[in-house]
């Protein structure tokens, strides 16, 4: 009984500390992005934010404590569509909408939404800044435009998956004193992330040419789900 009480106290204390650290990191990333970037067109942002939130609420568990959804595709499509100077801020603020899940609401959980807020904002902000570095080299109309978009999207997708994994693994190890058992499926998850990110980037590049294709892009999101 004493051991169980000690474990419970450790878990509560660890949850409070980790949630505070992750939330602080998330707020810090948002502040930096707000200072250095401009917000994307509100209509375009709302469309992608709605798709991101919808798909995130329907994430499926693919392994021990790991959830997956096509939100990476939405994030990178939006990032390319928003363009350099707005991509990271636009997608990071979209990620805020994915902090709360249906399960959190049902079980009235506090730790998960707060920690998820920081985790998702840091993941989105960091990976989209990398994408912006490639967008700086991608000149619309040039012969190398699609190449830079494809490479940048794949690189951002790998970073997105890596940051997300590291933060989730650290949280599980710190709070629950367990190791995250995802390695048996990592060979399947990473290629899926890269593929969805690659497709997302190309979809975003298509939108930069004409927003008329936007409804078709959302159909692709549903198919990806």
pLDDT at 179 over 70: no
- Confidence band for 174, pLDDT divided at 50, 70 and 90: confident
Q: What percentage of the chain has pLDDT greater than the value 70?
A: 80
pLDDT at 42 over 60: yes
Can you tell me the mean pLDDT for 33-54? Answer: 93
* Domains present along the chain, CATH in parentheses: 2-224 (1.10.1760)
* Calpha distance 87→44 (Å, rounded): 12
pLDDT tens digits for 182-223? Answer: 444 555 667 777 888 888 888 888 888 777 677 777 777 766
pLDDT at 177: 66
Q: What is the 3-state secondary structure (H, E, C) of 107-173?
A: HCCCHHHHHHHHHHHHHHHHHHHHHHHHHCCCCCCCCCHHHHHHHHHHHHHHHHHHHHHHHHHHHHH
* Calpha distance 44→190 (Å, rounded): 28
pLDDT tens digits for 111-134? Answer: 788 888 999 999 999 999 999 999
- Confidence band for 14, pLDDT divided at 50, 70 and 90: confident
Ranked by mean pLDDT, the top range of 53-57, 66-70, 155-159, 198-202 is: 155-159
pLDDT at 109 over 60: yes
């Amino acid at each position: 009984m004493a051991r169980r009480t000690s474990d419970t106290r450790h878990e509560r204390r660890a949850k409070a500390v980790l949630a505070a650290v992750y939330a602080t990191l998330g707020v810090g990333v948002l502040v930096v992005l707000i200072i250095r970037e401009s917000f994307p067109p509100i209509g375009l942002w709302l469309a992608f934010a709605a798709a991101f939130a919808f798909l995130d609420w329907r994430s499926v568990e693919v392994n021990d404590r790991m959830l997956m959804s096509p939100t990476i595709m939405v994030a990178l499509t939006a990032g390319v569509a928003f363009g350099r100077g707005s991509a990271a801020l636009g997608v990071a603020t979209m990620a805020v909408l994915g902090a709360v899940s249906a399960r959190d609401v049902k079980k009235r959980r506090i730790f998960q939404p707060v920690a998820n807020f920081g985790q998702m904002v840091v993941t989105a902000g960091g990976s989209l800044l990398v994408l912006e570095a490639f967008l700086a080299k991608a000149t619309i109309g040039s012969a190398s435009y699609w190449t830079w978009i494809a490479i940048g999207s794949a690189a951002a997708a790998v970073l997105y998956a890596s940051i997300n994994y590291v933060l989730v693994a650290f949280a599980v190890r710190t709070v629950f004193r367990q190791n995250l058992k995802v390695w048996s499926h990592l060979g399947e998850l990473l290629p899926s992330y890269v593929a969805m990110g690659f497709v997302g980037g190309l979809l975003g590049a298509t939108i930069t040419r004409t927003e008329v294709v936007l409804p078709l892009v959302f159909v692709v999101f549903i198919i990806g789900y």
